[in-house]
Amino acid sequence: MKPMELEKRYCPQNYRPLPVTLVRGEGAWVWDDGGRKYLDMMSAYSAVSHGHSHPRLVKVLQEQAAKLAIVSRAFHSDTLGPFLATLCARTGFEQALPMNTGAEAVETAIKAARRWGHQVKGIPEGEAEIVVARGNFHGRTTTIVGFSSEPEYRRGFGPFAPGFRAVPFGDARAMAAAVNERTCAVLVEPIQGESGIVVPPQGWLREVRQLCDERNALLVLDEIQSGLGRTGRWFAFEHERIRPDGLILGKALGGGLLPVSAFCADREVMDVFGPGSHGSTFGGNALAAAVGLEALKVLDEEKLVERSASGGAYMLERLRAMRSPALKEVRGRGLWVGVELDPARADARDVCERLAMLGVLTKETHDTVIRLAPPLVVNTTELDWALDRLQSVLDELAPRRTTRSTVAGNG
């Protein structure tokens, strides 16, 4: 029985993958079990921002694994300190708490914000609230899906934890009406990825920052997908020239090899944690710390953030020039773009399947949006190769016309 068939038999159908079995990757390219080559225009939701099997990262992984891989935080390792010091220097925060998956880092941020609200702001125990945005995607734990606005993420998984208030994403007035004396934090993504690369109005994040300052609430940003160069800056909040009180990172932090995440904040927030208050068996292990440190070095030394800025501008320019009645809107920043289709003329899943047949891999979201988020190592020749195939698929679905697509948010 083939691997794809075994997966279908023994794995619950919680994903709907394209019918491709991948066996090898290098840079922006992957190969299937038949030897066919594909350009990866998704990069595992930013987890493979460095490209597949980056030689520097693979070398560090192999060398560290041969020396020491897993050691509990009950002991020190010689890799965790250097990793956290470099991460704090890059983010500008005083401390970083290492975890594994992005959802774990979000849960860490929620715990920190609530305890800060009780111990520092003085909110009565059990009454702290966190304001979130509709359309969010912060992970899959029962706490997190409880404040999702996507019905399928929630259906049948309740009862859910209280203490969250949701407002429309990008709506400053609604945010101001929701933040009150019981609000310990505002938790949002600077750009919503799972919703289809939704960019908020210019200045919205600055308004939220000011609101949190005025009402003594923490601003916590989830940059698991948008951070570490994806938007053409190290962090998406830099586009608005603000600084959050807490920063959640993951995905690219593991260099495409391991799950590595972290919650970053200053000591005023981190001091709420003491021995026994929070932990993880694998969080901050020696192997993850070594790979995470090298991942940060590669981003910096190989100028992948700058490549995301220039490559993203080029990709958006090409998409802006496309003409098709099936194309409704293009939006994004850096190498992170959502192509929204007119559902009356094209189905995003169908487009992704057609692209796969042409050697381009990506994924739809919400039935109408195609995500284009290649590894940051991608070059313009490779982008042209993929975008030419996207244009050909759109041409198959509907003849070209002279009107241009609407483009938003590449500032």
Domains and CATH numbers, the chain: 3-53+303-400 (3.90.1150.10), 55-301 (3.40.640.10)
Omega of the bond prior to 98 within 30 degrees of 0, cis? no
Q: Please choose, from the candidates 304, 339, 270, 284, the residue with its C-alpha nearest in 3D space to the C-alpha of residue 48.
A: 304
8 given a catalytic annotation: no
- Burial class of residue 127, CB neighbours in 10 A (0-12, 13-18, 19+): middle
Q: What is the pLDDT of residues 251-289, one digit of tens each?
A: 999 999 999 999 999 999 999 999 999 999 999 999 999
pLDDT at 115 over 60: yes
347 given a catalytic annotation: no
Q: What is the pLDDT of residues 339-367, one digit of tens each?
A: 999 999 999 999 999 999 999 999 999 88
pLDDT at 407 over 50: no
Q: What is the pLDDT of residues 391-405, one digit of tens each?
A: 999 999 876 654 444
The residue from 222, 237, 263, 363 that is catalytic is 222
251 given a catalytic annotation: yes
**Given the DSSP bridges, would you call strands 164-167 and 95-99 parallel, antiparallel or unpaired?**
unpaired
Find the angle CA(63)-CA(68)-CA(71) to the nearest 5 degrees: 145
Average pLDDT across the chain, whole number: 96
DSSP per-residue letters across 62-74: HHHHHH-----TT
In 43-101, which residue ranges form alpha helices assigned H by DSSP?
55-67, 80-91
Let me know how long the chain is: 411
The residue from 83, 245, 251, 363 that is catalytic is 251
- Say whether 98 sits in a helix, a strand or coil: strand
The residue from 83, 93, 137, 235 that is catalytic is 137
In angstroms, the CA 261 to CA 254 distance is 8
Average pLDDT in the 186-190 region? 98
Average pLDDT in the 169-178 region? 98
> What pLDDT does 405 receive?
45
Beta bridge partners of 198: 192
244 neighbors 315 (Cβ within 8 angstroms): no
Element (H, E) at 247: strand 246-249
Residue 159 falls in which region: left (phi positive, over 0), alpha (psi -120 to 50) or beta: beta
